Amino acid sequence: MRVFNEIGLHNVRGDVFGGVTAAVIALPMALAFGVASGAGAEAGLYGAILVGLFASIFGGSPTLISEPTGPMTVVFTAVIVKLVASDPQNGMAMAFSVVVMAGMFQILFGALRLGKYVTLMPYGVVSGFMSGIGIILIILQIGPLLGQPSPTGGVLPILEKVPVLVAGMRPEETSLAFITVAILFLMPVRFKRYVPPQLVALVVGTLVSIIVLSSVDIRRIGEIPTGLPEFQLPVFSTEQALIMVLDALVLGMLGCIDALLTSVIADSLTRKQHNSDKELIGQGIGNVMSGLFGGLPGAGATMGTVVSIQSGARTALSGLVRVAILVVVVLWAADLTATIPLAVLAGIALKVGIDIIDWRFLRRAHRLSGKGALVTYGVIALTVFVDLIAAVGIGLFVANVMTITRLSELQADDVKAVTDPDETDLPLTPYEHDLLETADGRVLLLHLRGNMLFGVSRAISRKNSMVEGREALVIDLKDVVHLGVSAALALEETMLDMIRAGRRVYLVGAEGQPRERFEKLGLLALIPRENMTDKRTVALERAIYGRALQPEGTTDKTPDPGSDEAGSPGKEG
């Protein structure tokens, strides 16, 4: 029997092992992200439980493990900083309201079936944005790594106070952070198969702080509220309404991208196909509930998902097992987390930040494309030093302009204007070559091919100057798959110039979508029926002689130009 999202009992052993493993990874990560965000360790746990629970039940990727992630935490941290600065009393409550709104956006995206479009973003922009988020997460840990609270206000205030932080460094806490990072980087792969390095680092760091540094005042998580979280009504501010909506949109979009990319990874491991739209709805419900109960926003977590699947998980039951274990921690074992040093959590978050940076792409970006690399580096700089929304917006704008420019250049090659058959690379039959020679520049052949989108309209318009002085225009659309509005309007301008001047226009192969486009523009009514044909040879003959040498609809008996029977067009005339 299977219910919501393939939850079933046909793979109990694998799902239980997968869920337990995912919970072991989720605990230190949730605590680290909760502390790093400024919302508190409990917010990380609540987010891991609520997002994971509802995404597992209502999502579209059965093996996806959803919880607070590094990118989502960084964006949410920026939201908290911004709203608390503007309204210290209600800022935190408004930040959780942004999480609710972000979840509602995700539900809307799923309901509108936009899942397949969410990840259609230039890789350079996504890589730059994610790498910038990784850098921000690293910078946010500078204070805790040195045993001090992280300065408020964002990245720049932290960087400005680095000398002060270094001068006030607490060696005991820095050593704990160093031990944590060393375990995460140096733990042998064969051991990682049995126990997550994050849990090892958490346990070792905590034990060292208790046993070795018992006489030192170490900054720790402290008491976490036990029991279920309290429901929080959304709080809004008219002054901050627009900012909250924009932040929610960015947070929601990031969560969609994060979840769907991780779903693709899960598909490759399980040989299944996820439902993008359903997954967005599940993620949205999870984030709405998380925001309502004071939890961090979440998305599909790559690490937890991969480890869970490798441990045997095949259905959403693994996600529910993971949630059940975390609920036990919140209800009855929260006291065990009170002694965890903040420096250890900072070390875990630091490693996450380093892993988020797209090192593999950044090392090769300049070799792949100089302009693309500039876009990526620019998005990184904007993400870190300016604003997350500006980074995505400007990055997408520049990347799309570059793409459109490149497509226009490529499509320009698909627009051929021929008057001299000896000066074109358009494939012509020997007979067509002779016809154009006979025309002696009096006929312009305009050949289009492929998808004529708006970028190609410039190329068509540039050919307009070539109609000057021509007696006839032959437009060959036989190889056109799609005729865009801008390209059609550019052709309309060319055709009307010829018609107003009393010149003849002939259409070749105007069928399907191009013909429909011309009909809607009213152009077919301006062209005599006999000027429309499906053969370029016939159109050229009519353009030169004003009539067809061979009636359409009969068998093509035009002699091979290479045979003895074939004469020159001039002789036939």
Residue 515 lies in a domain: yes
pLDDT at 4: 63
Do both 13 and 93 map to the same domain?
yes
Do both 131 and 87 map to the same domain?
yes
Report how far residue 164's alpha carbon sits from residue 160's, in angstroms, rounded to the nearest whole number.
9
Do both 218 and 270 map to the same domain?
yes
Do both 350 and 423 map to the same domain?
no
Alpha helices in 38-141 (DSSP H): 41-58, 70-86, 91-111, 115-118, 123-140
Residue 539 lies in a domain: yes
Question: Of the residues 371, 401, 431, which one is the last residue of a structural domain?
Answer: 401
Do both 296 and 337 map to the same domain?
yes
> How many domains does one find in the chain?
2
Q: Coil, strand or helix: which one is 67? A: strand
Q: Coil, strand or helix: which one is 160? A: helix
Cα separations in angstroms, 486 against 348, 482, 489, 520, 528: 53, 12, 5, 14, 24
- pTM value? 0.76
Do both 391 and 443 map to the same domain?
no
Residue 407 lies in a domain: no
Question: Of the residues 401, 429, 458, which one is the last residue of a structural domain?
Answer: 401
pLDDT at 46: 95
Packing angle, helices 41-58 and 12-37, rounded to 10: 140
Residue 409 lies in a domain: no
Contacts of 381 by beta carbon, 8 Å cutoff, 6+ apart: 132
Cα separations in angstroms, 226 against 34, 67, 237: 16, 20, 31
CATH of the domain at 555: 3.30.750.24
Q: Give residue-wise pLDDT tens across range 196-217.
A: 888 899 999 999 999 988 888 8
pLDDT at 455: 65
Residue 558 lies in domain: 414-572
Do both 385 and 462 map to the same domain?
no
pLDDT at 175: 95
Residue 314 lies in a domain: yes
Residue 40 lies in a domain: yes
Do both 376 and 509 map to the same domain?
no
Question: Of the residues 341, 370, 401, which one is the last residue of a structural domain?
Answer: 401
Residue 454 lies in a domain: yes
DSSP state string for 288-304? HHHHHTT----EE-HHH
Do both 173 and 303 map to the same domain?
yes
Measured over the CA atoms of residue 365, residue 356, residue 297 and residue 304, the dihedral's sign is positive
Packing angle, helices 70-86 and 91-111, rounded to 10: 130
Q: Give residue-wise pLDDT tens across range 327-354.
A: 998 888 777 788 889 999 999 999 999 9
Report how far residue 335's alpha carbon sits from residue 403's, in angstroms, rounded to the nearest whole number.
55
Q: Give which of 132, 91, 203, 135 is closest to 349, Cα–Cα.
A: 135
Do both 518 and 391 map to the same domain?
no
The pair of three-digit structure tokens given for residue 176, joined into one six-digit string: 């704990």
Do both 205 and 135 map to the same domain?
yes
pLDDT at 274: 87
Report how far residue 329's alpha carbon sits from residue 334's, in angstroms, rounded to the nearest whole number.
6
Report how far residue 270's alpha carbon sits from residue 64's, in angstroms, rounded to the nearest whole number.
11
Number of residues that this document lists for the chain: 573
Do both 332 and 457 map to the same domain?
no
| List of the chain residues with pLDDT < 70 | 1-6, 8, 411-412, 455, 464-465, 547-573
Report how far residue 232's alpha carbon sits from residue 97's, in angstroms, rounded to the nearest whole number.
9
Residue 408 lies in a domain: no
Taking CB atoms within 8 Å and a gap of at least 24, the contacts of 370-376 are 371/402, 372/124, 372/399, 372/402, 373/124, 375/122, 375/124, 375/125, 375/128, 375/399, 375/402, 376/124, 376/125, 376/127, 376/128, 376/131
